[in-house]
Amino acid sequence: MPEVPAGGAGSNRMRPDRGRIVPAQAAAAVLGGLLVAGLAIGIIARGLQGYAPDAANFLLFFLIWALAGFAAVQAPGPGKAWRRMLIAAGCLCLLWPLASYYPFVGSEMPGEDREGVTARMPAGMLAVSSWLALGLVLLAAGWHCGRRDGGRVDQRTLAERVRKGS
């Protein structure tokens, strides 16, 4: 009986190139990490408006970029690395309206008047819907990227699948 790899029959653990970083995976680490870090620091800076110093945000940006890049490099392949980055970016885009909610609801921000905040509300609602749409697009792209079946959907009807036993 043949020996099964450590991770199971379909595992990537026994691939000879497992430890190598291919250029597409490095691009996912750099570009995808930059996207994730930019969105994350935008959310953090938006939520902590006026409370966190710029130097802390600057250092936090590079820390998040390094962590996202590490997550991409640890992926089994470039497709999975891009999948991780796109799904993380999509989740952050969905969180962006929560960070933007506080300044747009008429909160008492230092140096702001209620009329100014109320006048910006339509633009804020457009921005919220845009971030939600972008988040859904990135989540869909991440869901399709790096899949073994390429994201193909079985076009056969249910009756045909039951008849053939698959």
Contact 47, 99 (CB under 8 A): yes
Q: What are phi and psi of 165, to 5 degrees?
A: 80, 20
Its pTM surpasses 0.75: no
Which pLDDT tens digit goes with each residue over 101-130? 665 554 555 555 556 656 666 766 777 788
Tell me how long the chain is: 166
Q: How many helices (H) and strands (E) does the chain have?
A: 6, 0
Question: To the nearest whole number, what is the mean pLDDT of the chain?
Answer: 76
Q: How far apart are CA 48 and CA 14, in angstroms?
A: 46
Terminal-residue alpha carbon distance, the chain: 27
Angle, in degrees to the nearest 10, between helices 78-104 and 33-47: 20
Tokens for 75, please give them.
């992926």
Contact 48, 100 (CB under 8 A): no
Q: Between 24 and 18, whose confidence is greater? A: 24
* Burial per residue of 60-85, b for 16 or more beta-carbon CB atoms within 10 angstroms, e otherwise: bbeebbeebbebbeebebbbbbbbbb
Structural Rg of the chain based on CA atoms: 22
Chain centroid offset of residue 144 CA:
13
pLDDT over 90 at 44, yes or no? no
CA 114, 116, 119: angle at the middle one, nearest 5?
Answer: 105
Q: How far apart are CA 117 and CA 110, in angstroms?
A: 12
26-39 mean pLDDT: 93
pLDDT over 90 at 98, yes or no? no
Q: How far apart are CA 83 and CA 67, in angstroms?
A: 15
Q: Between 124 and 16, whose confidence is greater? A: 124
Share of the chain above pLDDT 70, in %: 64
